[in-house]
């Protein structure tokens, strides 16, 4: 499927949905779906970098996912820790810079520590910026930003009258990342599930019925082609051609 290489979205965010359903349809434990989904992440991030995508943000584990069965949560945490240990060399070889978004301090030590090591090891890489949203919630991010602003006001370093969109945005988890151009959601659900509530204000949204473990390079190209077919108005009216 052809896409215009001059109009590749610079930042793609993905709600990776459907791992559990993928496994259940095959009569397998849900964790096997998460394991296959991890393999999909590896393929898609590599392909996106080849296309010229500059940043990807993946909804890896939401703050609400703690409500799942304890055995599934433990399996997901161990899978994230395993990926952090196994993927460092590939991240370095491909020039990928790893970042994290969410309340990372609340993660178990065995998960948090290898992730932070990868962030430190790849901080000087200049290729695709890969952000993993882990223990992440869009509302929680805004609450944390509001708290940071309140602390600045209390310290006397910020006048409340000066608070605007830019000052709040500067307190988000990854304030220097450009806002996503394209949000992809797999598995057909028509909701954003508390993901990047501030940042996706003007993102184009592409929903596919494909479950995340089955999401292919061609599916990414379809999403990008859909994005390129849109007229982005940002609240205005496009100029006449």
Cα–Cα–Cα angle for 132, 134, 140, rounded to 5 degrees? 120
Over residues 51-59, the mean pLDDT reads: 99
Considering the domain boundaries, does residue 144 fall inside one?
A: no
Within the chain, residue ranges assigned H as helices are 19-24, 30-51, 70-86, 88-93, 109-122, 138-154, 165-169, 217-229
Active site members:
17, 65
Residue 168 domain flag: no
Residue 195, in any domain of the structure: yes
Per the structure, how many domains does the chain have?
1
Whether 148 is in a domain gets the answer no
Residue 157 lies in a domain: no
75 occurs within a structural domain: yes
CA distance 112 to 75: 15
Looking at residue 239, what is its pLDDT?
A: 61
Check residue 1 and give its pLDDT: 65
What global pTM score does this model have? 0.95
Residue 72 included in any domain: yes
203: CATH: 3.40.1180.10
Domain range for 36 is 8-136+180-228
pLDDT digits (tens, 9 = 90+) for 83-136: 999 999 999 999 999 999 999 999 999 999 999 999 999 999 999 999 999 999
Tell me if 233 is assigned to some domain: no
């Amino acid at each position: 499927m052809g896409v215009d290489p001059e109009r590749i979205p610079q930042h793609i965010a993905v709600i990776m949905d459907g791992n559990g359903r993928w496994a259940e349809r095959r009569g397998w434990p849900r964790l096997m779906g998460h394991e296959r989904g991890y393999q999909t992440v590896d393929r898609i991030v590599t392909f996106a970098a080849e296309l010229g995508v500059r940043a990807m943000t993946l909804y890896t584990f939401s703050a609400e996912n703690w409500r799942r069965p304890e055995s599934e949560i433990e399996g997901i945490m161990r899978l994230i820790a395993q990926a952090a240990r196994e993927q460092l060399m590939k991240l370095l070889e491909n020039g990928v810079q790893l970042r994290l978004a969410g309340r990372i301090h609340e993660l178990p030590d065995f998960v948090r520590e290898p992730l932070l090591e990868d962030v430190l090891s790849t901080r000087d890489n200049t290729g695709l910026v890969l952000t993993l949203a882990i223990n992440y919630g869009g509302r929680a991010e805004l609450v944390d930003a509001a708290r940071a602003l309140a602390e600045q006001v209390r310290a006397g370093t910020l006048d409340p009258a000066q608070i605007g969109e830019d000052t709040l945005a500067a307190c988000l988890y990854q304030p220097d990342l450009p806002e996503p151009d394209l949000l992809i959601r797999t598995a057909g659900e028509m909701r954003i599930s508390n993901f990047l509530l501030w940042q996706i204000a003007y993102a184009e949204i592409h929903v596919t019925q494909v479950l995340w473990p089955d999401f292919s390079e061609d599916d990414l190209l379809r999403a990008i082609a859909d994005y390129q077919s849109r007229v982005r108005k940002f609240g205005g009216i496009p100029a006449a051609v």
